[in-house]
Structure 1
């Protein structure tokens, strides 16, 4: 079977997912390719499967003709659905949502896309994201719907033996835009440094090309106001295969990953931290529910409650028995529920059902 995954840009979680699921499915004898409309930072990562980057319709038609695809999965970019059908694709066309911003924005986008989805696609896919499942059921009640976890390759992405830093690290991964709620992370770090952890380091992993200009200006202003300028280390476009080392350093430091998003689809950063023994403190951003179980595989705090977040972070950093328990259970959870084998099985079951 020949499979194509299509998305806007090779960056973030979707680029990671497309690489990992392509490798997983190829182990079962299926050929997988990826198509992106524009270039992005993810192209620096090692790709074991072909990747095409073009927004030229003639080139896209040539890719479809050469690829002879049986299945195409379109992530978010619903206009691709009509385009691929117009170019003569007659195979199974699956519309996938990995995240569409806030609940309100997701509803708006899916309503805008509803004609294309109903007319041109054969089924809907999402990674067990509760609010997307709800919207799929509400807007597309008659369409086949599939919900299963994304995959993690823990053979290649797991804890590394690294040096222990002199001071603890609070880390954040995302884009400088409103839904990722970066400002809340800065306020949490400011409170931690003021009352609890005077030597805290603050690491922020991001792709600056994907930030919103207005949010970037606010970011520069707030980090100055909170006296965090000298603590913050901006880590931009780190190659994916280097991230296990960074997460392992954060883990060894006694620090944690903080996920402050308002709404998430299925964030890879949380899974990746858990795979590397790095504890996670998160808002209940909906899509994290399949990975974080409070005080079992990670910790939640109430979005907007800085003091609660600080208390939970302080416990993560100082309660050694709880920290050890969370780390071990988190690693087991990822290995058990997000394996490439399980993903391949679910994906192929979906295709056969369609």
Structure 2
């Protein structure tokens, strides 16, 4: 079987991390995946070693691919231009739509024109996202929830002797690391992260914040100016680019310090960094919004706080950092939850069975 996945943006975010994991698993089960993107925003390094990747907006080139590469199915991820390309190329194979955008206004825009290609199914990464999608499509539209999966042979607890201590970020002495991982934009809500860091800095001196990512983010310049002008660089270390292959080592350093990850997002359709951290035994502190309670179990694998409540967020972080016995309990439960629910063998296998079913019926 041969698939084409179409998405606008080749980022280092959760969508491509999820598809990287799927493509590896699919290949082991006789399914070859190719990727078509309109623009590379720094994610090429994480995809090119596992599957053919095309980055183009040239319609003639795209039409040629759809007509001559013999795809058994096409999966469109939040890219409304793809519906025109598929129609113009007279593509007749099965088409699936992954609806991942958590903001309903943007999701509506990304779905414009989908009726023209008559998709056989919508795929969403959480029950929450299924509810969001149901507002925009007919109630009887076939929709399936398939969680993003993480490769637990890659994202796992690393023994200290295996951690790459020669690569940034370097572990601070006698400080616990609280890491924000992801883009710098309005939805990810980096401004609230800065407020939490400032509050905690006023209350204690044994914590160092890491911001991981944001090299090509929309708010990069705003973040950088605020970070420098408010002297937040004393408490926040920023690493705009960390290679994807280094991420298990990054999580291992956070765990070695006795730290956790912190999210301040206003909404997620899923959240790959949560399951990556949990797979490595790192507790997660995040707002109790959208799909996050499907992933992080409050007081079991991490802590959930009321959206916008920086005091509660700080107190939640303190609970994780200040009780070693509780920390190990959270860590072990997080690993177990990922293995049982979010491992790639669980999640991608569901996708494989669905695709095989469609191939038999077509």
Match of 2:281 in 1: 277
Choose which of 191, 195, 201 in structure 2 pairs with 1:193: 201
**Equivalent residues in 2 for 1:151-162, closer than 5 Å:** 151-160=149-158, 161=160, 162=163
Structure 2 portions without partners, runs of 5+: 166-170
* Residue 32 (structure 2) pairs with residue 31 (structure 1): yes
Q: Deviations over 1:210-250 (max 9, x none)?
A: 2236xx3265236633x422232211221111011111101
**Equivalent residues in 2 for 1:45-84, closer than 5 Å:** 45=46, 47-84=49-86
- Structure 1 230/339 Cα, relative in aligned 2: closer, same or farther at 3 Å? same
Match of 2:143 in 1: 145
CA drift at 1:115: 5.0
Choose which of 335, 339, 349 in structure 1 pairs with 2:339: 335
Q: Deviations over 1:16-72 (max 9, x none)?
A: 112111111111111111111112211122622111111111111222234211111
- Structure 1 179/115 Cα, relative in aligned 2: closer, same or farther at 3 Å? closer
Match of 1:9 in 2: 9
Q: Deviations over 1:162-206 (max 9, x none)?
A: 36642111110122211101111111111112113x132121012
2:266 & 2:343 partners in 1: Cα distance?
27
Match of 1:119 in 2: 116
- Structure 1 210/217 Cα, relative in aligned 2: closer, same or farther at 3 Å? closer
Q: Deviations over 1:98-118 (max 9, x none)?
A: 234x3xxx2x23444555222
* Cα RMSD, aligned residues only: 1.9
Match of 2:210 in 1: 203
2:285 & 2:330 partners in 1: Cα distance?
11
Choose which of 218, 222, 232 in structure 2 pairs with 1:217: 222
Choose which of 133, 136, 140 in structure 2 pairs with 1:136: 133
1:348 & 1:231 partners in 2: Cα distance?
45
Q: Deviations over 1:118-175 (max 9, x none)?
A: 2312221111141x21132233213211112111001112222236642111110122
SS of the counterpart of 2:234?
Answer: coil
Q: Deviations over 1:296-351 (max 9, x none)?
A: 11111111111111111111001111111110010111111112222233113333
Q: Is the 8 A contact 1:4 1:69 kept in 2?
A: yes
SS of the counterpart of 2:60?
Answer: helix
Q: Is the 8 A contact 2:63 2:88 kept in 1?
A: no
Q: Is the 8 A contact 2:75 2:95 kept in 1?
A: yes
- Structure 1 317/136 Cα, relative in aligned 2: closer, same or farther at 3 Å? same
TM-score normalised by length of structure 2: 0.89
Match of 1:239 in 2: 243
2:75 & 2:213 partners in 1: Cα distance?
26
Q: Deviations over 1:275-303 (max 9, x none)?
A: 11211100123122221000111111111
SS of the counterpart of 1:38?
Answer: strand
Q: Is the 8 A contact 2:301 2:330 kept in 1?
A: yes
TM-score normalised by length of structure 1: 0.91
SS of the counterpart of 1:139?
Answer: coil
SS of the counterpart of 2:267?
Answer: coil
1:93 & 1:237 partners in 2: Cα distance?
34
SS of the counterpart of 2:277?
Answer: helix
